[in-house]
Amino acid sequence: MNYEEVVNFLYAQLPVFHRVGKKAFKPGLGNIEQLAAKLGNPQQHFKSLHIAGTNGKGSSSHFMASILQEQGYRVGLYTSPHLKSFTERIKVNGQEVSKEWVVDFFIKNQTLIAEIKPSFFDWTVLMAFAYFQEHGVEYAVIETGLGGRLDSTNIIEPIATYITNIGYDHQDILGETLAEIAFEKAGIIKSHIPILISERQTELEQVFISKAQTCDAPIQFADELVRISEVGQQGMSLQVKAQTEIWGDMQIESPYAGGYQVHNICGIIAWCVQLTTMHILNLTAQSVQRGIELTRTNTQLRGRWEIIGQDPWVIADTAHNASGITEVLDQVANMNIRQLHIILGMVADKDLDRVLRLFPKDAEYYFTQATNPRALTAGELQAKAKVFGLVGDTFANVNIALAEAQKTQADFILITGSTYMVAELSE
């Protein structure tokens, strides 16, 4: 079998959340535990750092991996979903797993699929752990896929855990309230393992504190360790000045200009402070600063306030839930834009009413869809958006929509609403 055949087989034979939604979710860790045991528990052969949250966990995972690389470690990074290629999910020092390795791993272990019948996510997590062990990873940054407590990644015994913003997303699986969602994310907190909470959300503090106390896990909030004293933006560049006790003032220039990255930068610096003061890691201010600044180069993180074009400005962002969309639109509102055009696509199982009411009524809209079974059709999205005063035409795909938007007098084009739609942008 070649790479395309293997990936197509996995998509066809295993439940894939990004294609079929909730019915792909297999609660419990039994399958992944069986898979890992069959391969000698590869996750026990490297030190891991575990990251959960609703928004910001992808950026934070990439920031942390880049920092560890700058400190001189051999670093594994597991994230999901991917944008262009399945191989993006598994990286060592920024280099994606090879297609040949994916094929070889499948051929060697395909009997496990028939025997255990894992989910697609179980299989890819196992693949990442095996790859990291085989390639001598010292530290692996592991991003949860969905929730935390029952997420396939939660079989690791990390040296530290980290939770980002909590917002409404995947309520059909994680719970209808923020407290219920926070409880699921808090499931990565483990006995005696330090936990850092990146954003203090007053109504949710006690959820994390209670879980940490139950686990006798040291817990800190980012604002206890880092103070952001200054934020500036010049064009598409974001500058952040942070104050820490152990490193003094730090001046960071983020390669990702979205204002929401301030939360992620503050949180990651705080996590590095926590781990250094607790002697879990020995990080330097220079590694933290350079790690954040070189994230795009070191780990190839894409889809976060990504600049696609400059005349007019074309920005793509994978924000797809209410809290993420709010942050992106706040960033847009702070810019001097004459004509805002928004290319919008979404999946059908989101809380559309909660999201659509956030968008400005005075923008021009281009409704489209990804080639994904979960995608809401452009026509359905257009009809739902009209209820909220959002008006525009429909387009077969994001590239046709973008080409049409670029013919206008727009000085700013925002592409957002779905990771899968952003992924289909032509290079």
* Domain end point (choices 194, 222, 250): 222
Of 183, 205, 222, the one marking the end of a domain is 222
Does residue 310 sit in the same domain as residue 200?
Answer: no
Q: Is the peptide bond before 373 cis (omega within 30 degrees of 0)?
A: no
- What is the DSSP track for 202-230? GGGHHHHHHHHHHTT--EEEGGGTEEEEE
Q: Going residue by residue through the chain (427 aa), what tens digit of pLDDT does each one get?
A: 899 999 888 887 765 544 444 444 456 799 999 999 999 999 999 999 999 998 889 999 999 999 999 999 999 999 998 888 999 999 999 999 999 999 999 999 999 988 998 888 899 999 999 999 999 999 999 999 888 899 999 999 999 999 999 987 656 667 779 999 999 999 999 999 999 999 999 999 999 999 999 999 999 999 999 999 998 876 666 899 999 999 999 999 888 877 778 999 999 999 999 999 999 999 999 999 999 999 999 998 888 888 888 889 999 999 888 888 998 998 898 888 999 999 999 988 767 898 999 999 999 999 999 988 888 999 999 999 999 999 999 999 999 999 999 999 899 999 999 888 998 998 7
Same domain, 211 and 330: no
In a domain, 217, yes or no: yes
Question: Does 162 share its domain with 15?
Answer: yes
CA 417 to chain centre: 14
One domain, residues 177 and 58: yes
Read off the tokens for 244.
Answer: 């820490």
Task: Indicate if 50 and 186 belong to the same structural domain.
Answer: yes
Are 416 and 344 within 8 A, CB to CB?
Answer: yes
Pick the closest to residue 55 from 416, 365, 320 (CA basis). Answer: 320
Domain count, the chain: 2
Identity (one letter) of the amino acid at 73?
A: Y
Tell me, yes or no, whether 270 lies in a domain: no
Domain that holds residue 319: 306-423
Nearest to 126 by CA among 21, 187, 28, 39: 39
Name the β-bridge partners of 413: 314, 341
Q: What CATH number corresponds to the domain at position 314?
A: 3.90.190.20
193, 311: one domain: no
Which of 170, 201, 222 corresponds to the end of one domain?
Answer: 222
Q: Indicate if 158 and 57 belong to the same structural domain.
A: yes
Give the span between the Cα atoms of 349 and 200, in whole angstroms.
Answer: 28
Placement of tokens 């001598």 in the chain: 136
The answer to whether position 59 is within a domain reads yes
H helices of 39-144, in order, are 57-70, 99-116, 120-134
Instruction: Tell me if the bond preceding 255 is cis, omega within 30° of 0.
Output: no
Looking at the fold, whether 155 and 34 belong to one and the same domain comes out as yes
pTM confidence score: 0.88
Cβ atoms of 26 and 119 closer than 8 Å:
yes
For position 202, which CATH number holds? 3.40.1190.10
